[in-house]
């Protein structure tokens, strides 16, 4: 059993799972607190949040005492000495908190995305992780979705043939939820992006460091080409289309529907035609948070990298920044890695982050009700 603690006791730290009223593409437990409470590998031992109300809700929801809840995460790290720590705070402070957690001597970190706001911050976090030998998993959760993992298995085992194209229709701010979209593209094709072209939502917004929407053309090192539509997608919400020479997989309607197509030889004039086949379901479907914890345990006990490393988080941010730089430079091709490590994108989640997101959402719901 590993002793686990959570920093940031709001929606992703604790209450997101309670919002799920219907089934979908998220398998529970999903967020940090409930996953640690349910996992056979961990004991949820403490939480930290500067907002007393969130601490009280967390303690009541997960059976912790008042003394196990801290307003200062540094005090919690010193007193509790956890093995696993989740960082579920606003991204504004995430880099500084990650560095403190690494220095506290933990074994593993489960961090929300984006990893950091700037490339320089990401570089510093990764350098410290490597120096201290700490495992980290980024919560780019599509890597832990059983259907996405099945699609990646099909890629790895050659069932789709040579992968040619990955297209994502994912209306998103490129740092915040764009972290999910760009990382899922890299994951599905098992490749790194070498260069990009980008188009942001406007010239005016492209000159700022704000978290904006945009489209991009991505060239991967394994020959795959990708297109992401981060601008409004109409009737294609959060869809991924993976095309190979021998097969095609589509995830549609925010992951609620899936298609798998292969060649058939009985088309017109006996020519091959694509035809749908049943999508092969994975043998086991775990709660996605439990899968993350198992991934961290494996990393701690074997030294293997996690399924979504800090470097994966950095690369998602770097692709987003490169797309924006392409627009800024007159829609020129931009090669990776980027030389200017001071570049940043201020994740949309930091807006109004002096008040917890859970409370802001409750206020919006009350005003609209």
Tens of pLDDT, residue by residue over 184-208, are 999 999 999 999 999 999 999 999 9
Residue 51 burial (10 A CB sphere; 0-12, 13-18, 19+) = middle
Answer yes or no: is 137 within a domain.
Answer: yes
Q: How high is the pLDDT of residue 369? A: 66
Peptide linkage before 235 cis (omega within 30 of 0):
no
Q: In 3D, which of 25, 22, 47, 51 has the Cα closest to residue 36?
A: 47
Answer yes or no: is 270 within a domain.
Answer: no
Answer yes or no: is 299 within a domain.
Answer: yes
Higher-confidence residue: 76 or 356? 76
8 Å CB contact between 58 and 6: yes
CA distances from 354 to 89, 351, 357 (A): 11, 8, 9
- Where in the sequence is the domain holding 95, given as residue range(s)? 2-142+287-308
Domain total for the chain? 1
pLDDT at residue 18 is higher than 90: yes
pLDDT at residue 362 is higher than 90: no
Higher-confidence residue: 366 or 303? 303
- Of 189-193, 236-240, 308-312, 349-353, minimum mean pLDDT range: 349-353
Gyration radius of the chain over CA positions: 21
Answer yes or no: is 43 within a domain.
Answer: yes
pLDDT at residue 269 is higher than 80: no
Answer yes or no: is 68 within a domain.
Answer: yes
Query: Rounded distance, CA 76 to CA 198, Å?
Result: 43
Higher-confidence residue: 3 or 269? 3
Answer yes or no: is 314 within a domain.
Answer: no
Query: Rounded distance, CA 154 to CA 152, Å?
Result: 5
pLDDT at residue 234 is higher than 90: yes
Task: For 107-128, write each residue's pLDDT tens digit.
Answer: 999 999 999 999 999 999 999 9
Answer yes or no: is 99 within a domain.
Answer: yes
Average pLDDT over residues 162-185: 98
Answer yes or no: is 180 within a domain.
Answer: no
Torsion of CA 291, 294, 296, 299, to 10 degrees: -130
pLDDT at residue 249 is higher than 70: yes
Task: For 48-99, write each residue's pLDDT tens digit.
Answer: 999 999 999 999 999 999 999 999 999 999 999 999 999 999 999 999 999 9
Mean pLDDT of the chain: 95
Backbone torsions φ then ψ of 287, nearest 5 degrees: -55, 140
């Amino acid at each position: 059993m590993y002793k686990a603690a959570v920093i940031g006791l709001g929606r992703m730290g604790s209450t997101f799972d309670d919002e799920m009223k219907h089934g979908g593409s998220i398998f529970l437990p999903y967020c940090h607190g409930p996953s640690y409470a349910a996992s056979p590998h961990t004991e949820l031992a403490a939480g930290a949040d500067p907002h007393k109300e969130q601490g009280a809700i967390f303690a009541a929801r997960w059976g912790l005492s008042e003394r196990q809840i801290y307003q200062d995460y540094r005090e919690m790290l010193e007193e509790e000495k956890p093995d696993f720590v989740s960082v579920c705070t606003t991204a504004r402070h995430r880099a500084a908190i990650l560095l403190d957690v690494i220095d506290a001597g933990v074994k593993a970190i489960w961090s929300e995305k984006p990893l950091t706001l700037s490339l320089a911050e990401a570089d510093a976090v990764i350098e410290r992780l490597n120096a201290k030998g700490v495992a980290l998993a980024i919560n780019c959760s599509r890597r832990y979705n059983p259907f996405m993992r099945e699609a990646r298995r099909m890629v790895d085992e050659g069932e789709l043939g040579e992968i040619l194209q990955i297209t994502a229709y994912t209306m998103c701010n490129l740092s915040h939820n764009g972290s999910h979209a760009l990382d899922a593209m890299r994951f599905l094709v098992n490749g790194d992006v070498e260069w990009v072209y980008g188009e942001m939502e406007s010239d005016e917004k492209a000159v700022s460091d704000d978290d904006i929407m945009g489209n991009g053309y991505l060239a991967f090192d394994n020959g795959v080409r990708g297109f992401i539509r981060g601008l409004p997608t109409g009737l294609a919400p959060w869809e991924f289309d993976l095309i190979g020479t021998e097969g095609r997989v589509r995830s549609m309607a925010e992951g609620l529907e899936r298609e798998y197509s292969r060649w058939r030889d009985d088309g017109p004039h006996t020519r091959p035609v694509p035809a749908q086949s049943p999508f092969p379901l994975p043998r086991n479907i775990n709660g996605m948070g439990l899968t993350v914890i198992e991934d961290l345990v494996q990393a701690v006990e074997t030294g293997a990298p996690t399924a979504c490393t800090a470097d994966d988080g950095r690369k998602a941010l770097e692709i987003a920044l490169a797309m924006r730089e392409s627009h800024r430079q007159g829609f020129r091709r931009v090669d990776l890695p980027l030389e200017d490590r001071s570049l940043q994108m201020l994740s949309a989640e930091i807006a109004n982050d002096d008040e917890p997101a859970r409370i802001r959402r409750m206020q919006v719901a009350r005003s609209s009700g």
